[in-house]
Amino acid sequence: MKRTLIVIFVSVVYMTINAQTQQPQQMNESSNEGRASLSVGILNGGGGLVGADFEALLSNRVGLQLGAGWVSYSVGLNYHLKPGIRSSFLSLSYWHQGLGEGFAQSLVGPSYVFRGKKWFTAQIGLGYVLDRGPAFPATMEQTPVILTYSIGAYFVL
């Protein structure tokens, strides 16, 4: 019993000491690229017919995204699967579609955004409906979750 406790204690101390050491930052291909991008396309910028999203990296993998489209806007927090602005990412976003009497709905939800190596981008995800407005079509079924998607091009800034 004493031996087991000693092994556990030494293991915890070892992990605590090693957890606090600084790891050397790896140089990668994204270090000489921009840390921001602009995406333009169909259903970008909050789900408007056409729109644009601007993303700025806060770290090698975490980015903040702001978008605007044809009477829509969005904001999102992105986690890139690989370091750098050109990598695909998971996003948690808020979409607001329409303004005033033209307000259709507001959504929040996760999505996966694919980014090609050069310029292509496509997004698919789920949006949980927070609110519906007067412009939401009365003929459509009012489901609590909808499919979100977009397609377009991105440019590193």
Q: Is the pLDDT reported for residue 101 higher than 50?
A: yes
CA distance 111 to 127: 8
pLDDT of 51-67, one tens digit each? 999 999 999 999 999 99
pLDDT of 122-133, one tens digit each? 999 999 999 999
Higher pLDDT, 116 or 3: 116
CB atoms within 10 A of CB 22: 5
CA distance 46 to 66: 9
Contact between residue 40 and residue 153 where contact means Cβ atoms under 8 Å apart: yes
CATH class of 34-156: mainly beta
Spatial neighbors of 70 by CB under 8 A, at least 6 apart, are 45, 48, 49, 50, 51
Q: Is the pLDDT reported for residue 96 higher than 90?
A: yes
pLDDT of 5-54, one tens digit each? 676 666 666 666 666 555 555 444 445 689 999 999 999 999 999 999 99
Token pair, residue 29, equals: 């291909």
Contact between residue 87 and residue 59 where contact means Cβ atoms under 8 Å apart: no
pLDDT mean across residues, the chain:
88
